Structure 1
């Protein structure tokens, strides 16, 4: 329904709900490390981030906290890392990341910029003592100090890879 109206679908779910929803090809799923492990049956987030895409999701933003965010998208694979771990209350951190990703979709920002905002807001939510709040100073600082690194596509070179499908490398 959202896609028919041009609205991106962002999914933050776990277990059977996450697995079942992948068939609807959401634009992005946002599992944490535990939720991702439940889908892939393993604990390597870099290898695992490709699994929901292979199952139907158009993009995956995994949060192997406190290491930042790992994104597997049609435009590339990236890891966003804060310069140091943020200690505090993680309640609401995933919701903050999803909100920032939704903002990135609505403004059309490139994926690296979306990830900086999502990782910074998520960490700032951890730094705020009450759940549901964020520390604006931490957010501001992280916007300037977070690093985003492009990673090689984990399926590059395989015939079923999104990067090689339909090219001479896949024939």
Structure 2
């Protein structure tokens, strides 16, 4: 069995439009789904601790999905949780003033989706991270929220989950 855990961004909640759509997609693949609520927790380190605390008991094949700061959080927790894969959207890597907080890429399959028109997290940050660890990178015609790209994202997510080895 595969469990998919979602980590939302700083300005959103655990069951926003994007996460609900992705959750439906992975449920249709037979996966268990949950989304961690980080509302009220601004510190990324505290968010990582919460993710590890809430998911440390999962014995299933674990796929972490994160958006923006949630991508940073999922990346930082992936190795400790023994995740089988990491799927991130516009991840907050190499942010100005916080470059040293960018997590070390875990040695697992990683897929990054980033919008060319992102005005929050520069697309170059995802390109740099992907090059550092040979992650799969999909650059799409979208902004930071990627709400206009949900169908495309779900295609990438479906492919990632079904092709990431057990």
Shorter-chain TM range is 0.3 to 0.5
Tell me which of the two structures has the higher relative contact order, counting C-alpha pairs closer than 8 angstroms and 6 or more residues apart: 2
Larger radius of gyration: 1
Indicate the structure with greater strand content: 2
What TM-score results when the alignment is normalised by the length of structure 2?
0.34
TM-score by length of 1: 0.34
